[in-house]
Structure 1
Amino acid sequence: MSTRSASERPSMRQVAETAGVSHMTVSRVLNGHPSIKESTRDKVLLAVEQLGYQRNVAARALALQRTLRIGAVVETEAEFGPASALRAIHRSARRRGYSVSSIALDEDDSADPGRALQQLLALGIDALCLVMPRSASVAAVRAASLDVPVLVVKPEREAELLRVCVDQQLGITMAVDHLAALGHRDALYVSGPMDWLDARARERAFRARTRSWGMTERPMIAGDWSADFGYDFAVSLERLPEYTAIVAANDEVALGIVHGLHDRGLRVPDDLSVVGFDDAPFSRHSIPPLTTVRQPFETLGTTVVDVLLAAVEGLEIPQRTKIPPELIVRLSTAKARTAP
């Protein structure tokens, strides 16, 4: 199969003519300029695709005196939430003409936050992102002397670093309010690992919101993010508990709980309502389909890249960096059972 010679490759001016816009507009679209109308952006990107236009990334990087690369540290790529956030960051960065180099700290036993930072800096990066980190990773970044913009995807306020997050407190609040509206006044929280900042934020939000409703206070069940943990917890129940609902750390834990309750002869939602968190693709196909809190990972990824590149380019930093989740009501929740 023949390939085009350099002289046959489409130019930016040909893209402009095909899209019916100026050469400068094409340049702004390809550089991710925020003031471009969506309809104009779509026309330019369609022309790029039709013509097979490819930018000379090396020349652009040289002209801008940047590497056009974002570094990302993710605690694990095995869990749905961090993996989904990282994929969304990759997609958004590509649209802006940047690549992403990522290191997952669960890749091998030698991976640690400090070493990961040094590896990424050695590659040459314009900015750094920590994706849904544990507390140790944030501490490592604070202790390091970094001369690039640094952003952390975490729920707590951050004085020293840029921050973007999905509003974990709002998500749990919506879940508890949904249960309260169904008459539940006694609910259990099954948490993720408490060294994860998202897990801490969800547990605190659950505690605060159930108190505001006057619900029975119960010690949380601390676990991990896996369906196996949820299953093991549920099958350990010797009888129908007094609480009427369970809010799980994520959808995988919730799925394991539903499975375990079924194996113990308990019905969801007749005996116990179950709520998850994330809205993973399988959650709508569980039996029963899972009520959950949807995290908008695509919006998260776009916002992360927007904030980082604004910092890199010396532009005004976007202020709306706390992204609201959405409660997705399905069939795993129902009115609280009445006392026998």
Structure 2
Amino acid sequence: MTEQKATGRSAAADDGRRGARGRPRRVSMADVAQRAGVSAQTVSRVSNGDGAVVEATRQKVLDAMKELGYRPNSAARALKRGDFRAIGVIIGGLSSTGNVRTLDAVTGSASRAGYAVTLIPLDAPTQDNVKGAFTRLDELAVDAAVLIMEVHLLDAVALTLPPHVKVVVVDSDATGRFPVVDTDQRQGARSAVRHLLGLGHETVWHVAGPEESFAAGRRAEAWEAALREEGCPVPPVLRGDWAPESGYEAGLRLADEESCTAVFVANDQMALGVLRAFHDRGVRVPEDVSVVGFDDIPEAASFIPPLTTVHQDFAEVGALCVDAVLRELAGETVTGVRLVATTLKERASTAPPPGEDRTTR
């Protein structure tokens, strides 16, 4: 008889946790409080990690949560605290190697800081799409946003930001409105040009990225400035779209330039295309023409020949983005541009020009 009563009480308790149609009802804070024999306010404090709760009481509440299968409403808690522990990332394209590696670095740094990442990709980097992405920020549970856009858009867009969302920009035209983190594009391009001139080349040709790219523009400007500073002739720019195919087309044109003994390519993907074009035309690298890339993608050391290239520290860029976000969320005023230095990785794709003494390498 006692066993039947106990079973009846269990069934009644179970029925009490079901809705009108017999579906399981979400366990509430009041249910936990009743099971633990404490107030709902105490349960709330335990849910929010309040250290003022006595350890024995806290353990009783945790045991009751586990027994009842209670899951705190994280969104409600975030609204109450005023933070969501989440960062939105608006990214202007997932086809770019630099964008993807920067995204990976931001995600990793955010995770280590205890923040989730909400990704907002742009199908096409247009002004309307950027406006729409900023509008979505107001609908999402995020505390801050990192913008990864290599095109010139922010200056022309009237952005309306939710008042609580902090913004950090990577590699774009923030024009002083937001803190910026970027690779030192100019320093990297200069190091590539100076390396080639130092080997004895009279000038350096350039395969640039797309005109709308902020990074491509800075690299091209630094390439030209470095040549002019040394009194070297400035060849016409060949332009690609970051993809190997455009590098291949540029490489075919360069193979017909008898005066071309050195090429600085704005990224490693296009450099791969240049190398293939030279191979197809019988131009030897580095015996006939030296080639330098930019990015230092993981595959660069496995190109034939292994590619001399400018190394970008994407991990540091990601870490500085998250650091700036956290400082803003802590109430600091973060302004200006933080640049991450590059490193030239010398490999087998560069050498003195034909006829020079190659033992000096």
Q: Distance in 1 between matches of 2:336 and 2:255?
A: 50
The 1:108/1:75 distance shift into structure 2, 3 A limit, reads closer
Q: Residue 201 of structure 1: CA displacement?
A: 0.8
Kindly report which structure 2 residues correspond to 1:179-198, keeping only aligned pairs within 5 A, or say none: 179-198=196-215
Residue in 2 that maps onto 1:283: 300
Q: Distance in 1 between matches of 2:315 and 2:180?
A: 16
3-state SS, counterpart of residue 139 of structure 2: helix
Q: Residue 138 of structure 1: CA displacement?
A: 4.8
Contact 2:151 2:212 in 1 (8 A): yes
Counterpart selection for 1:334 from 324, 348, 351? 351
Contact 1:191 1:221 in 2 (8 A): yes
| Identity rate, percent | 36
Deviation sequence 1:7-28 (CA, Å, 0-9, x none): xxxxxxxxxxxxxxxx89xxxx
Residue in 2 that maps onto 1:226: 243
Residue in 2 that maps onto 1:113: 130
Contact 1:306 1:318 in 2 (8 A): no
Contact 1:171 1:293 in 2 (8 A): yes
Q: Distance in 1 between matches of 2:124 and 2:214?
A: 20
Q: Which moved more, 1:205-214 or 1:111-120?
A: 111-120
Structure 2, gaps ≥5 residues long: 1-31, 33-50, 53-71, 357-361
Kindly report which structure 2 residues correspond to 1:40-189, keeping only aligned pairs within 5 A, or say none: 61-62=78-79, 64-106=81-123, 112-140=129-157, 142-147=158-163, 148-154=165-171, 158-189=175-206
3-state SS, counterpart of residue 100 of structure 1: strand
When normalised by structure 1's length, the TM-score is 0.77
Q: Distance in 1 between matches of 2:161 and 2:125?
A: 25
Q: Is 2:224 aligned against 1:207? A: yes
Q: Distance in 1 between matches of 2:245 and 2:162?
A: 39
Q: Decide which structure has the larger Cα Rg and report it.
A: 2
Q: Which moved more, 1:67-76 or 1:143-152?
A: 143-152
Q: Distance in 2 between matches of 1:76 and 1:157?
A: 18
Q: Which moved more, 1:299-308 or 1:207-216?
A: 207-216
Q: Distance in 2 between matches of 1:60 and 1:317?
A: 28
When normalised by structure 2's length, the TM-score is 0.73
Deviation sequence 1:135-184 (CA, Å, 0-9, x none): 124533x5434422221112667321111111001100111111111011
Residue in 1 that maps onto 2:313: 296
Residue in 2 that maps onto 1:42: none
Q: Residue 246 of structure 1: CA displacement?
A: 0.7
Contact 1:152 1:164 in 2 (8 A): yes
Contact 1:69 1:99 in 2 (8 A): yes
Q: Distance in 1 between matches of 2:127 and 2:181?
A: 28
Structure 2 residue identity aligned to 1:179: L
Contact 1:278 1:292 in 2 (8 A): yes
Contact 1:171 1:325 in 2 (8 A): yes
The 1:238/1:312 distance shift into structure 2, 3 A limit, reads closer
Structure 1, gaps ≥5 residues long: 1-5, 7-22, 25-54
Residue in 1 that maps onto 2:45: none
Q: Residue 290 of structure 1: CA displacement?
A: 0.3
Contact 1:74 1:133 in 2 (8 A): no
Contact 1:74 1:130 in 2 (8 A): yes
3-state SS, counterpart of residue 189 of structure 1: strand
The 1:274/1:137 distance shift into structure 2, 3 A limit, reads same
RMSD: 2.9
Q: Distance in 2 between matches of 1:231 and 1:300?
A: 30
Q: Residue 193 of structure 1: CA displacement?
A: 0.7
